[in-house]
Chain A
Amino acid sequence: MQSSSKYTFRPVKQKKTGRIATFVLIAGAIWGGVTFGIGQNGGWEAVFNSGGATNGLTGLTGSPTPTKTTKPSGSGAASATGDPVDYPFGTIQLSVTRSNGKITKVGLVQAYASAGRDQAFPLLQQAAITNNGSSFGNLSGATYTTDTFKQALDSAISKLP
Chain B
Amino acid sequence: MHEFNRLEECMGTVFQFSGLSAIDEAEFLESATNTLHKADAIFSLYKPGSPLSRLARGETSVAECPGVVEQVWELCESWAKKTDGWFSAFTPEHTFDPSGLVKTWAAQAAADKLLEAGIIDFTLNAGGDILISDGQSREDFWRVAISRPVSIADAEAGVLTVLDLTGTEFRAVATSGSAERGQHIWNPKSSENQQDFTQVSVIARDIVEADVWATAAFAEGIRSLERINKQAHLEALYVMADGSLQATDGVLALLAKATR
- Which chain A residues have a beta carbon within 8 Å of chain B's beta carbons? 1-8, 10-11, 13, 15-16, 20-22, 24-25, 28-31, 34-36, 90, 97, 102-108, 112-114, 122-125, 127-146, 148-149, 151-152
Known: A145-B181, A146-B14. A137 touches B143 (CB 8 A): yes
A105 and chain B: residue at smallest CB distance: B5
Which one of B36-44, B57-65, B240-248 is at the A interface? B240-248
A138–B242 Cα gap in the complex (Å)?
Answer: 26
Say yes or no: B258 contacts A152, CB within 8 Å: no
Judge whether B80 is part of the interface by a CB distance below 8 angstroms: no
A106–B138 Cα gap in the complex (Å)?
Answer: 16
A103 and chain B: residue at smallest CB distance: B7
User: Taking the nearest CB of chain B, how far is it from the CB of A102, in angstroms?
Assistant: 8
Q: Can you list the 3 inter-chain pairs with the closest CB atoms, starting with the nearest?
A: A7-B243, A30-B158, A133-B258
Say yes or no: A143 contacts B245, CB within 8 Å: no
A103–B18 Cα gap in the complex (Å)?
Answer: 13
Say yes or no: A141 contacts B132, CB within 8 Å: no
Say yes or no: B257 contacts A131, CB within 8 Å: yes
B143 interface neighbour in A124, A136, A144, Cβ under 8 Å: A136
Q: How many A-B contacts are there with CB distance less than 8 Å?
A: 227
A7–B130 Cα gap in the complex (Å)?
Answer: 25
A16–B154 Cα gap in the complex (Å)?
Answer: 10
CB under 8 Å from chain A, chain B span 1-41: 5-7, 9, 12-14, 16, 18
Say yes or no: B178 contacts A132, CB within 8 Å: no
Judge whether B157 is part of the interface by a CB distance below 8 angstroms: yes
Residues of B within 8 A of A141 (CB): 128, 146-147, 152, 175, 177, 179-180
User: Taking the nearest CB of chain B, how far is it from the CB of A104, in angstroms?
Assistant: 6
Judge whether B109 is part of the interface by a CB distance below 8 angstroms: no
Say yes or no: B144 contacts A136, CB within 8 Å: yes
Judge whether B232 is part of the interface by a CB distance below 8 angstroms: no
A10–B247 Cα gap in the complex (Å)?
Answer: 21
Of A24, A102, A106, the most chain B CB neighbours within 10 A belong to: A24
Name 12 A/B residue pairs within 8 A (Cβ), A-sorted: A11-B155, A25-B152, A29-B158, A35-B156, A132-B162, A133-B257, A135-B259, A138-B130, A140-B173, A142-B180, A144-B180, A149-B14
Judge whether B159 is part of the interface by a CB distance below 8 angstroms: yes
User: Taking the nearest CB of chain B, how far is it from the CB of A29, in angstroms?
Assistant: 4
Contact with A along B230-260 (1 / 0, CB 8 A): 0000000100101111110001100111111
Judge whether B141 is part of the interface by a CB distance below 8 angstroms: yes
Residues of B within 8 A of A131 (CB): 161-162, 255-258
Residues of A within 8 A of B14 (CB): 144, 146, 149
User: Taking the nearest CB of chain B, how far is it from the CB of A91, in angstroms?
Assistant: 8
Say yes or no: B251 contacts A124, CB within 8 Å: yes
User: Taking the nearest CB of chain A, how far is it from the CB of B224, in angstroms?
Assistant: 14
Known: A140-B174, A145-B13. A6 touches B161 (CB 8 A): no
Residues of A within 8 A of B138 (CB): 137
Say yes or no: B157 contacts A140, CB within 8 Å: no
Say yes or no: A134 contacts B201, CB within 8 Å: no
